[in-house]
Amino acid sequence: MNNENKSLDIVEGFFKAINTGDFDKAKSFMANNHEYVGPMFSTKNPEDYFEKLKAFEMEFAVETQDMLVGENGLTHRSLLKVLNPVQATIPCCEVFIVDNNKITHQYFYFDTALFPKP
């Protein structure tokens, strides 16, 4: 399997785990020094990343629209669907860097004005 297919499998596995609420499984796709940079928070490890996500106290799902896969990562165009306690659909773009079969960097972009207030 080439690097492009591995990156795709890793990121798809990550989102499958996220969408089922299995954060422990999602962590298994992330490097211990995983860095996340987004418009609402940034983190330097998986534990802080999931702590920040849980702080939103919202149920959400990610719907993939398209992926552009490269040798060491991919760009993911998606819809972030906030399901509960409020509802919203937010177009997003994310860049994942994959090294040694783990997500090392995740850069998330969206218009924060579209994010609902709980």
For the stretch 12-45, pLDDT in tens is: 999 899 888 899 999 999 999 999 999 999 999 9
User: What own/partner pairs with CB < 8 Å and gap ≥ 24 does 49-57 have?
Assistant: 50/23, 50/26, 53/23, 56/118, 57/85, 57/118
DSSP 8-state code for residue 116:
P
What pLDDT band is residue 73 in, cutting at 50, 70 and 90?
confident
Look at residue 118 in the predicted model and tell me its pLDDT: 64
> Domain for residue 118, yes or no?
no
Residue 117 inside a domain? The answer is no
Residue 97's domain is classified under what CATH number? 3.10.450.50
> Mean pLDDT score of the chain, rounded to an integer?
91
**pTM of the predicted structure, to 2 decimals:** 0.88
Is the residue at 104 inside a domain? yes
Structural domain including 48 reads 3-112
Q: Structural domain tally of the chain?
A: 1
Examine residue 31 and state whether it is found in any structural domain, yes or no: yes
> Is residue 85 assigned to a domain?
yes
| Dihedral angle computed from the Cα positions of residues 9, 109, 71 and 53, in that order, rounded to the nearest 10 degrees | -40
